[in-house]
């Protein structure tokens, strides 16, 4: 009985050391990693206007589940892939598949992947893909940071 209590106490002490140790690291989110990269490298941003779009044909084209890059979207939950479309002037600066950090778009702030391109008439603008039942929005003075999460 004494040995069992000592073993239990040892296990409890070990577990408490894990949780109180400074070496214990909590897994960081993609957004936290992106913010650290931006801060460390002092990355410049592009000031853009952000709007939202859905997979409805009237907002895209006749193939709403296929982006300009050839990426296939989920028909049930398209926003889970965190996709953005960029205006053609920004397309010269951002390649398909590149990760970007968006700040200034409220609850839509985060890390997204450039997978689509907007109509030629738009300049300095991004479109954030949302689900059809979500409310659309317009955000001005949004900061768009190019990032490389794999660093």
How far, in Å, CA of 147 to CA of 143, rounded?
A: 12
Residue 17 lies in a domain: no
Answer yes or no: is 96 within a domain.
yes
Q: Is 37 contained in some domain? A: yes
Give, rounded to a whole angstrom, the gap between the first and last alpha carbons of the chain.
52
125-135 tens-digit pLDDT? 999 999 999 98
Q: Are 129 and 84 in contact (CB under 8 A)?
A: yes
pTM comes to 0.77
Query: What percent of the chain has a predicted confidence (pLDDT) above 90?
Result: 60
**Residue 42, in any domain of the structure:** yes
How many separate domains does the chain show? Answer: 1
What range defines the domain where residue 76 resides? Answer: 28-147
The mean of the pLDDT values for the chain is 86
15 in any annotated domain: no
The pair phi, psi for residue 73, each rounded to 5°, is -90, 155
Pseudo-torsion of CA 106, 123, 113, 75, nearest 10°?
A: 80
Give buried/exposed letters for 18-42 (b at 16+ CB in 10 A, else e).
Answer: eeeeeeeeeeeeeeebbbebbeeee
Instruction: Please say if the pLDDT value at position 58 is more than 70.
Output: yes
Give pLDDT, residue 39. 83
Residue 5 lies in a domain: no
Identify whether 7 is part of a domain. no
Are 149 and 111 contacting, i.e. CB atoms less than 8 angstroms apart? Answer: yes
Contact 125, 50 (CB under 8 A): yes
Look at residue 14 and tell me if it is in a domain: no
Q: What is the CATH number of the domain that holds 34?
A: 2.40.40.10
Q: CA nearest 108: which of 23, 51, 24, 25? A: 51
| Choice among 32-41, 107-116, 140-149 with the minimum mean pLDDT | 32-41
């Amino acid at each position: 009985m004494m040995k069992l209590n000592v073993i239990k106490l040892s296990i409890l002490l070990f577990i408490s050391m894990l949780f109180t140790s400074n070496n214990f690291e909590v897994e960081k989110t993609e957004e936290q990693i992106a913010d650290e990269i931006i801060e460390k490298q002092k990355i410049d941003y592009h000031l853009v206007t952000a709007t939202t779009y859905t997979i409805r044909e009237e907002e895209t084209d006749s193939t709403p589940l296929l982006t300009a890059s050839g990426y296939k979207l989920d028909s049930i939950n398209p926003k889970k892939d965190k996709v953005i479309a960029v205006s053609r002037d920004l397309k010269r600066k951002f390649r398909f598949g590149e990760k970007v950090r968006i700040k200034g778009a409220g609850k839509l702030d985060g890390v997204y992947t450039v997978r689509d391109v907007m109509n030629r008439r738009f300049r300095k603008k991004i479109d954030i893909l949302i689900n059809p039942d979500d409310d659309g929005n317009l955000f001005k003075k949004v900061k768009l940071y190019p990032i490389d999460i794999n660093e």
